[in-house]
């Protein structure tokens, strides 16, 4: 597409980027008189029915998922052999752009962004969608600094088009979870927890935990090697925050946070200065719910008694 081309009421202004599946254009919405982004499925992929189905599925997913931290899809167009997705324009750029420019990111800002992304992704999970390609390049900022998740191009939608094994092996190795590397089609919501652990690690240390010379070596490291402790790279990180990051990066999904909501809540508690509940206490509560409830009643009764004596 070129400057001045029309597509269903959108006028192409300029090419502004390119991804693995699409070319990205800035466009003008003639009806609403504002800027939008138009993503065109690459021509060599537009003849492949499976890639077209994937692209269409991504558009459908994003049109249905409405959340403050998910980028809005406005329209999906198939015209003259072209497949186009129209999204809201996010002029703040991506976190990848910010990292590449060497922009200063405070610890509080990094945590706030990751918490908000996790809340948006959890909304997708609640609606049966796993992103599977969370990374700084897919996390965009609007004009007010609000972060939004974009590019659900390889998302796994339960009940959506079934993909072949080869085609399912898409993603960015450094941000992929061990289970996603081993068995891509079986990747589920805890894969997104891991990927956001990598993003938080990178925002705090300016390094990714596994950086190797090839995709093969990176995947091997993700599956087999322990991540370097973040405090080795940034001694200003607290021991508690380091443990928050490393829990998200556990090789065994069952030892990570139970989902993006739990991860977001843990970050939010840290930002508010709320101390963590020790795992031993939580395990005891889960194993003895009636005793825990009785103990809680006793505590409340004691507090009420002390209050009445004042």
Catalytic residue among 122, 133, 151, 192: 133
Alpha carbon distance 69, 62 (integer Å):
12
Alpha carbon distance 292, 284 (integer Å):
8
Q: How far is CA 169 from CA 61, 132, 134, 185, 205, in A?
A: 20, 10, 14, 8, 28
Alpha carbon distance 69, 149 (integer Å):
6
73-79, strands of its sheet edge to edge:
6-7, 10-18, 22-29, 34-41, 82-88, 73-79
Specify whether the CB–CB gap between 77 and 119 falls below 8 A.
no
Take residue 215 and report the two structure tokens written for it: 């995709």
Alpha carbon distance 54, 37 (integer Å):
19
133 is catalytic: yes
Specify whether the CB–CB gap between 29 and 44 falls below 8 A.
no
Active site residues: 133
């Amino acid at each position: 597409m070129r400057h001045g081309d029309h597509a269903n009421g959108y006028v192409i202004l300029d090419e502004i980027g390119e991804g693995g599946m699409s070319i990205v254009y800035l466009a003008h919405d003639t009806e609403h008189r504002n800027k939008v982004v138009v993503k065109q499925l690459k021509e060599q992929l537009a003849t492949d029915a499976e890639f077209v189905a994937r692209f269409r599925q991504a558009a459908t997913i994003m049109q249905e998922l409405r959340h403050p931290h998910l980028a809005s899809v406005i329209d999906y167009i198939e015209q003259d052999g072209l497949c186009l997705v129209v999204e809201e324009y996010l002029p703040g750029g991506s976190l990848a752009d910010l990292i590449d420019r060497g922009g200063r990111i405070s610890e509080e800002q990094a945590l706030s962004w990751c918490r908000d992304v996790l809340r948006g992704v959890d909304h997708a999970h609640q609606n049966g969608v796993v992103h599977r390609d969370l990374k700084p390049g897919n996390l965009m900022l609007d004009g007010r600094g609000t972060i939004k998740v974009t590019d659900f191009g390889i998302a796994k939608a339960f009940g959506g088009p079934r993909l072949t094994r080869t085609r399912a092996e898409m993603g960015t190795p450094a941000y992929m979870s061990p289970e996603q590397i081993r068995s891509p089609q079986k990747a589920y919501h805890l894969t997104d927890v891991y990927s956001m652990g990598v993003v938080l690690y990178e925002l705090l240390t300016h390094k990714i935990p596994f950086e190797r010379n090839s995709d093969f070596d990176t995947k091997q490291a993700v599956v087999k090697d322990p991540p370097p402790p973040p405090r080795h790279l940034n001694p200003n990180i607290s021991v508690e925050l380091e443990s928050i990051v490393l829990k998200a990066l556990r090789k065994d999904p069952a030892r990570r946070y139970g989902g993006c909501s739990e991860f977001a809540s843990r970050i939010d508690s840290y930002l508010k200065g709320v101390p963590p509940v020790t795992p031993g206490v939580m395990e005891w509560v889960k194993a003895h719910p009636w005793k825990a409830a009785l103990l809680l009643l006793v505590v409340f009764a004691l507090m009420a008694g002390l209050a009445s004596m004042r």
